Amino acid sequence: MTAPALRTTGLHKSFGSLVVAQDVAISLPQGARYALIGPNGAGKTTLINLITGALRPDSGEILLGEEAITALEPDSRVKRGLARTFQINTLFPDLSPLEAVTLAVCERLGVANVWWRRLVGFRDAVDEAYDILASLNIGAVCYRATRELAYGQQRLLEIALALATKPKVLLLDEPAAGVPRQQGGELFEAIANLSSDITVLFIEHDMEVVFRFASRVIVMVGGRLLVEGTSSEIAADQRVREVYLGRSRHG
């Protein structure tokens, strides 16, 4: 447990005169549970997009374990163990959850470009997909079309798809967004129960959830890192109070 699981140095990104990330350096140790918080527009989702490759940084570097992945395509980063979920459901409406997760497993196994063998022939992949879905309590609905699933179930499917890639580092963009509080708690229990091999960074607005599930918290404001620390340090930090906690929670 020496090298951090994920590290960025000096990430910088701007659109014209609008700077969305400025000198962002974070470091997530193996197996950590980090929360990323900050007011709206602080650049949290942008940071995830930069790390996963959906956006290209203007400068800076991203390391996954020992390896620099800054120049890699998003799908290659996923193959190396960096997975994410989306704040707004980004699923396959007409596929069943079983099909979707099986596909993700096949992608990981490198067999998703096989067109001359039937899907049913890949029994291990199907079993693995079903197990993931069952472990997230959506095994019972996994034969329906995704569009027919309840919203909370779709949020779980987001996570299931990410897990199917067997990530080393998992970036969750407001996994409980739009889910009633009660269910949100269950969802985070599921996240907390993930294997400790997986390093997790999640964006969340609900401070109770943050303080309960995160070992450390990173605060962003205006595209910069403001402060990083344990839950209690953050809760006590004056600057954080000023820029963040002082305002309405979902403002």
Partner 1 sequence: MAGVADPHQYLAAKQRWAPIEVAFWLAMLLPFVLVPTYLPLASQIAITAIFAVSLDLILGYAGLVSLGHAAYFGLGAYTAGLIAKAGWGEPFSGLLIGGAAAGLFGHLTGYIVVRVRHLALIMITLGIGLLLYEVANRASWLTGGNDGLQGVAMWPLFGSFDFDLYGYTAYAYSLAVLFAVVLAARRLVHSPFGLSLRAIRENERRMPAIGAPSRARLRTIYTIAATIAGIGGALLAQTTQFVSLGALSFERSAELIVILVIGGTGRLYGGVVGAIVYMVARDRLSGMNPQYWYFWIGLMLIGVVLFLPNGILGGLATLLPRRSRAS
Contact footprint for partner 1 (CB under 8 A): 52-54, 73-76, 78-79, 83-86, 90-95, 98-100, 102-104, 106-108, 111-120, 122-123, 125-127, 129-130, 140, 142-143, 161-162, 164-165
Contact 100/91 with Cβ under 8 angstroms?
yes
CB 243 to partner 1: min, Å: 30
CB 100 to partner 1: min, Å: 7
The rounded distance, in Å, linking the Cα atoms of 23 and 60 is 8
Cβ proximity to partner 1, 130 vs 211, nearer residue: 130
CB 89 to partner 1: min, Å: 9
Task: Pull the structure tokens for residue 232.
Answer: 């209690």
Cβ proximity to partner 1, 54 vs 236, nearer residue: 54
CB 7 to partner 1: min, Å: 21
Cβ proximity to partner 1, 100 vs 198, nearer residue: 100
The rounded distance, in Å, linking the Cα atoms of 43 and 35 is 14
Coil vs helix vs strand at 120: helix
Task: Pull the structure tokens for residue 26.
Answer: 């974070």
Residue 173 Cα distances to 45, 47, 93, 150, 202, angstroms: 7, 10, 20, 19, 6
Cβ proximity to partner 1, 127 vs 242, nearer residue: 127
What's the start-to-end Cα distance of the chain, in Å? 39
Cβ proximity to partner 1, 117 vs 250, nearer residue: 117
Cβ proximity to partner 1, 113 vs 182, nearer residue: 113
CB 60 to partner 1: min, Å: 20
Alpha-carbon dihedral angle through residues 119, 121, 123, 126, given to the nearest 10 degrees: 0
Contact 208/227 with Cβ under 8 angstroms?
no
CB 120 to partner 1: min, Å: 5
